[in-house]
Amino acid sequence: MQHVFIIGAKGIGNYGGYETFLQKLVKYHKDNDRIRYHIACKANGQGAMDETKLPGAKTDDASHFTYFNAECFKINIPEKLGPAQAIYYDIAALRECIKLIKEQGIQNPIIYILACRVGPFVGHYVKQVHKLGGQVFLNPDGHEWKRAKWSAPVRRYWKVSEAGMVKHADLVVCDSINIEKYIQTEYAKYHPKTTFIAYGSDIYPSKLADDDEKFTSWLSDKGVSRFNYYLVVGRFVPENNFETMIREFMKSNSKKDFAIITTQDRDFLAELDNKLHFKNDRRIKFVGTVYDQELLKKIRENAYGYFHGHSVGGTNPSLLEALGSTKLNLLLNVVFNEEVGQDAAIYWSKEEGNLAGIIDQSDKMEQSEIDDYGRKAKQRIKDAYSWQFIADRYDSIFG
């Protein structure tokens, strides 16, 4: 049996790309008796794991739970570390993995690290893993060093860390063709071994009926109606370009609403309102978070259109979910989004007036044209991003 230790996600099924990926990977491999997963989760702090909210999870004790064929262990993090929390978390998780491998006498383990946070320190631990007959795989995510939320010194650290992670990894698993090209070009001197495995999605419809009280109550509570709202789902951070989307929607002549499903950052929200005064526009609706996956899918299916403004990173899970559920998708024109959407979406730029004009054109679109985009979007997921396809690819590199 192949034991695979995964670290770097806050938990399983939480709000985030890696967290969604882990939930799907474990569920699709739940009957795979050749792979046993061991997954590190945050015990405390922002985004901490609460397995009581994860259907199918069984609590073993305060620090351990089981999710299908995954043994999950929680890592406590000192709250006062600030941005260094993520670095502490990954190192503590790495140490715990090595300890478990030794204690359980596990042969030929794989440690799969999600994101490039501990590059300056990872060489020491990779040597230990190699001595135990194991390998270290890496998923570099996107360009963390470009994220606007980080100060210049922190961004410099992420870039150095990325280099260290790539240098020491036995295999770099890239979720985007463009990320793989970047790794091969930027770090050619390390001769990295890479492979491309995207994130996945599905195209089955929500289990909720149109008149399901859960859905109709959500519509009523938020003051929106079916096919009369544009939607965005994502973390409320600058590189997801909420400012551009809100500003441009306010400039448009659309009579529809703009429903924003996000984790709210009050400081960023206040800063945005000072700039845009969006609270004066009744169409702009921050509708909170939705963790019920069937309800979220239903909300996507009934949106008139979906905005995707992510500008940093590879294959984004929320984009895949939108293509699998929403017919009309309006994406920021960066290479990562174009790689995924191809001809199944409409693309906008951050140039002033561009998205507003596209919104006005979209409002006038014939239903047959919208349906055509929807068919192409679902086909795109079916061809390249189905969870079964992705799970099978991981089976081939882990198994």
Tens-place pLDDT, residues 335-387: 989 999 999 999 999 999 999 999 999 999 999 999 999 999 999 999 889 99
Residue type, 221: D
pLDDT value at residue 15: 61
pLDDT for residue 146: 65
Segment holding 114, helix H or strand E: strand 110-114
Q: How far apart are CA 210 and CA 291, in angstroms?
A: 19
CA distance 37 to 97: 11
Separation of alpha carbons 36 and 66, rounded Å: 11
Q: Report the pLDDT value the prediction gives residue 80, as an integer from 0 to 100.
A: 83
d(CA 91, CA 297): 35
User: Which residues of the chain register pLDDT less than 50?
Assistant: none
Q: Which ranges of the chain would DSSP assign to H, the alpha helix? A: 17-28, 85-104, 119-131, 152-168, 177-186, 213-222, 242-251, 266-276, 293-301, 317-325, 335-341, 354-363, 367-384, 387-398
Give the relative orientation of helices 317-325 and 293-301 as an angle to the nearest 10 degrees: 60
Confidence (pLDDT) at 181: 94
Rounded distance between C-alpha atoms, residue 361 and residue 267, angstroms: 33
pTM: 0.79
N-to-C CA span, the chain: 8
- Tell me if residue 63 falls in helix, strand or coil: coil
- Residue 53: CB atoms within 10 A of its CB come to 11
Residues 6+ apart with CB under 8 A from 274: none
Rounded to whole angstroms, how far apart are CA atoms 322 and 202? 10
Structure confidence at residue 260 (pLDDT): 96
> Rounded to the nearest 5 degrees, what angle is found at the Cα of 23, between the Cα atoms of 316 and 203?
60
Beta strand 171-174 pairing with 135-139: parallel
SS3 state at 255: coil
Distance CA 46, CA 81 (A): 12
Which residue is associated with the tokens 């790794």? 183
Q: Is 102 helix (H, G, I), strand (E, B) or coil?
A: helix
Q: Torsion angle, CA of 32/20/208/283, rounded to 10 degrees?
A: -170
Cβ-count burial of 184 within 10 angstroms (0-12 exposed, 13-18 middle, 19+ buried)? Answer: middle
Residues 208, 214 contacting (CB under 8 angstroms): yes
Degrees to nearest 5, angle at CA 336 with 333 and 337: 50
Strand bridging mode 305-308 / 329-332:
parallel
Please tell me the distance from the alpha carbon of residue 287 to that of residue 285, in angstroms, as a whole number. Answer: 6
Nearest to 22 by CA among 69, 86, 87: 69
Distance (Å, whole) CA 142 – CA 124: 24
In this prediction, residue 318 carries a pLDDT of 87
- Strands across the sheet containing 171-174: 57-61, 64-67, 70-75, 35-42, 2-7, 110-114, 135-139, 171-174, 194-196
